[in-house]
């Protein structure tokens, strides 16, 4: 992967995919806004996921739960007690670091200096302590012993490692400011599904096994949030929780892991940039019996895009305990009662959007020039068709506008008459537009246009009535 993250950041800004939030005020760290192309791309990814989950499965239904939830939810889920990252401050520079990331940087420095053995040893210690929770005294010891320096200041004067809860807290209602009214912005969408599981069961005519899908915002006060939309403080998740009979969970988990891998390929991500990585048993989250990441080869290395988890009956049992409401399922056929197990697929929409941009980005040499092109699957492309009159002449403009109006019913199209045709093609290459149509004088005679394809830049002459068909089959492929 030769592309740097900087290339993606700068293209995102210059073409209007993704902007930093509140940029005119200097920006708000780890929060981003989607521009005209970005919102289309993100929505196309979301729709593709939604369709693959709900429409393609007769036993998966959707919901849209609120961001605010009863505070007890987060006690039951374990987030109040345990959704922490290990944090450490440098007293001198007042900068805050995620302790495990500091160690990782240090390990890299050791490797750069050829001290591989020591690096391996530290890496092993870091791996066994885990990154979230539980990573405290041991790590602190390592930091002190190794005298790790703050990455930018050189000097160091560390505080102790503290566990920092990642949930954003705010106050609910107008009257009070005490902690009694504290309410959280949800750090994951899953809990909205668990607390609605009974409602869905009672109303949607589903039977175990069945799934509930949801797309929505989640908020995490990440200690370190760099790397563009890879790690944000406000982001979107697309999650599906699948409720199964205990004993069938392992098989279902494996099925979903495979299915989700196939989905990533189906949206055009190159196979060599994808891999599934199971979590070792000793690094599983408190609620999980098995877990795997689907990882993508980002410019910053192989990183998780999606998690597949076997959450057992942990969540439903906890909600049963904390709410006092029964969460059991009665199996009519077998005449038995049980709390279902949950297999979860959880993917970040923003991270997925970044994956699509990274996988699509190419720089190609064309006639001694570099063309930047986003070779993404046509079904994800923000603009499907560019329409250009060869020059600004009324007859050409008229036919171009007519084609535009016809196609607009079904596709996002862009009419552009400024600059040379070559420049107009390049602009659409950078936007990932798979098809461009040019209207010229010959076409006025025989009712044809030129279709130019983004990926191989080939051009075809087609009849105006065939345009729709060509585009339709191109998007499906």
Give the annotated binding-site residues for substrate: 98, 188, 235-239, 344-348
Task: Give the nearer residue to ligand ATP in terms of CB position, either 355 or 387.
Answer: 355
Query: Which residue sits closest to ligand ATP, CB atoms considered?
Result: 348
Scanning 60-68, 76-84, 146-154, 342-350 for contacts with ligand ATP by CB under 6 A, the matching segment is: 342-350
* ω into 209 cis (within 30 of 0): yes
What length does the chain have? 477
DSSP 4-60: -HHHHHHHHHHHTSEEETTGGGT--TT-EEE-HHHHHHHHHHHHHHHIIIIIT-TTE
Give the shortest CB-432-to-ligand ATP separation in angstroms.
Answer: 21
Give the helix ranges, DSSP H, for 324-463.
349-360, 394-408, 421-431, 441-446
Cβ neighbours of residue 21 closer than 8 Å, sequence gap 6 or more = 27, 28, 31, 32, 33
Task: For residue 89, give both structure tokens.
Answer: 């401050």
> How many CB atoms within 10 Å of residue 398?
13
Please give the helix or strand (H or E) that residue 243 lies within, else none. Answer: strand 234-244
Task: Rule CB under 6 A: choose which of 89, 105, 138, 304 binds ligand ATP.
Answer: 304
Nearest distance, CB of residue 368 and ligand ATP, angstroms: 40
Q: Is 353 in the site for ligand ATP (CB under 6 A)?
A: no
Closest to ligand ATP by CB, 258 or 459: 258
* Measured distance CA(451)–CA(462) in Å, rounded: 7
3-state SS class at 317: helix
Alpha helices in 88-136 (DSSP H): 99-112, 116-129
Known binding-site residues equal 98, 188, 220-222, 230-239, 304-305, 344-351
Q: Which CB atom, from 264 or from 452, has the smaller least distance to ligand ATP?
A: 264
- Residue 264 touching ligand ATP (CB under 6 A): no
For residue 292, the minimal CB distance to ligand ATP (Å) is: 11
Q: By CB under 6 A, is residue 237 in contact with ligand ATP?
A: yes
- Nearest Cα to 78, choosing from 320, 341, 315, 326? 315
Answer yes or no whether residue 306 interacts with ligand ATP by CB under 6 A.
Answer: yes
CA angle 273, 279, 280 (to 5 degrees): 135
**Binding of ligand ATP by 257 (CB under 6 A):** no
Closest CA to 102 of 113, 91, 93, 90: 90
User: Which one among 192, 216, 299, 348 touches ligand ATP, defined by CB under 6 A?
Assistant: 348
250 binds ligand ATP (CB under 6 A): no
Cα Rg for the chain, rounded, in angstroms?
Answer: 26
Least separation in angstroms between residue 352's CB and ligand ATP is 7
Give me the 181-200 binding string for ligand ATP, x by CB under 6 A, dash otherwise. Answer: -------x------------
Instruction: Pick the closer one to ligand ATP by CB: 306 or 313.
Output: 306
Verify binding: residue 346, ligand ATP, rule CB under 6 A: yes
Does 351 contact ligand ATP by CB under 6 A? yes
Q: Binding site for ATP: which residues?
A: 220-222, 230-235, 304-305, 348-351
Minimum distance between the CB of residue 293 and ligand ATP, rounded to whole angstroms? 7
CB of 233 to ligand ATP, least distance (A): 7
**311 lines the binding site for ligand ATP (CB under 6 A):** no
Tell which one of 89, 146, 181, 222 touches ligand ATP (CB under 6 A): 222
Q: Among 307, 340, 386, 389, indicate the residue that binds ligand ATP (CB under 6 A).
A: 307
Sole residue written with tokens 């589903």: 206
Number of residues binding to ligand ATP, judged by CB under 6 A? 16
Q: Measured from the CB of residue 56, what is the shortest distance to ligand ATP in angstroms?
A: 21
Q: How many angstroms separate the CA atoms of 148 and 54, rounded?
A: 49
> Near ligand ATP by CB under 6 A, which window of 91-99, 142-150, 317-325, 347-355?
347-355
Closest CA to 295 of 307, 282, 285: 307
- Tell me whether residue 306 or residue 315 sits nearer to ligand ATP (CB atom): 306
Residue whose C-alpha is closest to residue 167's, from 91, 71, 253: 71
Nearer to ligand ATP, 190 or 339 (CB): 190
414 is a site residue for ligand ATP (CB under 6 A) = no
Q: Report how far residue 315's alpha carbon sits from residue 33's, in angstroms, rounded to the nearest whole number.
A: 33
Site for ligand ATP (CB under 6 A): which residue of 305, 357, 431, 451? 305
φ, ψ at 163 (rounded to 5°): -90, 125
Q: Please report whether residue 350 would count as binding ligand ATP according to CB under 6 A.
A: yes
Residue 343 sits at φ, ψ, to 5 deg, of -105, 130
Does residue 235 touch ligand ATP according to CB under 6 A? yes
Between CA 190 and CA 285 the distance in angstroms is 15
Longest CA–CA separation in the chain, Å: 81
Any contact of residue 260 with ligand ATP (CB under 6 A)? no
The residue range among 66-74, 301-309, 330-338, 467-475 that interacts with ligand ATP, by the rule CB under 6 A, is 301-309
Footprint of ligand ATP (CB under 6 A) = 188, 220, 222, 231-232, 235, 237, 304-307, 346-348, 350-351
């Amino acid at each position: 992967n030769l592309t740097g993250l900087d290339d993606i950041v700068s293209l995102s800004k210059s073409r209007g995919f993704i902007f930093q939030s509140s940029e005119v005020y200097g920006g708000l760290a780890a929060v981003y806004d989607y521009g005209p192309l970005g919102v289309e791309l993100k929505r196309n990814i979301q729709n593709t996921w939604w369709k693959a989950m709900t429409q393609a499965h007769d036993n998966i239904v959707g919901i849209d739960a609120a961001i605010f939830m009863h505070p007890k939810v987060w006690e039951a889920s374990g987030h109040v007690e345990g959704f922490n990252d290990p944090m450490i401050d440098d007293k001198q520079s007042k900068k805050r670091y995620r302790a495990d990331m500091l160690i990782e940087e240090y390990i890299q420095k050791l490797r750069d200096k050829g001290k591989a053995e020591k690096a391996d040893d530290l890496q092993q210690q870091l791996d066994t302590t885990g990154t979230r929770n539980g990573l405290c005294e041991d790590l602190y010891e390592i930091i002190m012993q190794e005298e790790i320096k703050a990455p930018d200041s050189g000097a160091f004067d560390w505080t102790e490692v503290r566990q920092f809860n990642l949930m954003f807290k705010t106050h609910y209602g107008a009257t009070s400011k005490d902690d009694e009214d504290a309410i959280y912005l949800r750090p994951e969408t899953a809990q909205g599904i668990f607390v609605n599981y009974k409602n869905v069961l009672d109303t949607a005519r589903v039977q175990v096994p069945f799934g509930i899908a949801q797309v929505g915002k989640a908020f995490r006060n990440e200690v370190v949030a760099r790397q563009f939309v890879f790690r944000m403080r406000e982001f979107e998740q697309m999650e599906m929780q699948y409720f199964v009979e205990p004993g069938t969970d392992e098989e279902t988990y494996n099925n979903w892991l495979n299915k989700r891998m196939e989905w990533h390929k189906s949206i055009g991500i190159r196979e060599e940039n994808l891999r599934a990585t199971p979590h070792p048993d000793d690094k599983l989250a408190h609620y999980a019996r098995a877990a795997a990441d689907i990882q993508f080869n980002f410019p910053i290395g192989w990183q998780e895009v999606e998690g597949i988890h076997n959450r057992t009956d942990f969540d439903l049992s906890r909600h049963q305990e904390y709410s006092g409401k029964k969460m059991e399922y009665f199996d009519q056929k077998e005449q038995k009662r049980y709390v279902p197990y949950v297999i979860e697929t959880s993917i970040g929409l923003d991270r997925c959007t970044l994956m699509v941009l990274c996988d699509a980005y190419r720089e190609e040499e064309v006639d001694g020039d570099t063309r930047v092109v986003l070779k993404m699957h046509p079904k994800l492309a923000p603009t499907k068709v560019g329409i250009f009159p060869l020059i600004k002449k009324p007859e050409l403009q008229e036919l171009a506008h007519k084609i535009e109006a016809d196609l607009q019913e079904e596709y996002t199209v862009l009419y552009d008459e400024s600059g040379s045709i070559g420049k107009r093609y390049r602009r659409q290459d950078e936007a990932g537009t798979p098809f461009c149509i040019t209207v010229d004088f010959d076409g006025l005679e025989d009712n044809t246009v030129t279709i130019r394809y983004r990926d191989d830049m080939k051009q075809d002459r087609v009849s105006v009535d065939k345009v729709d068909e060509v585009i339709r089959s191109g998007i499906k492929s």
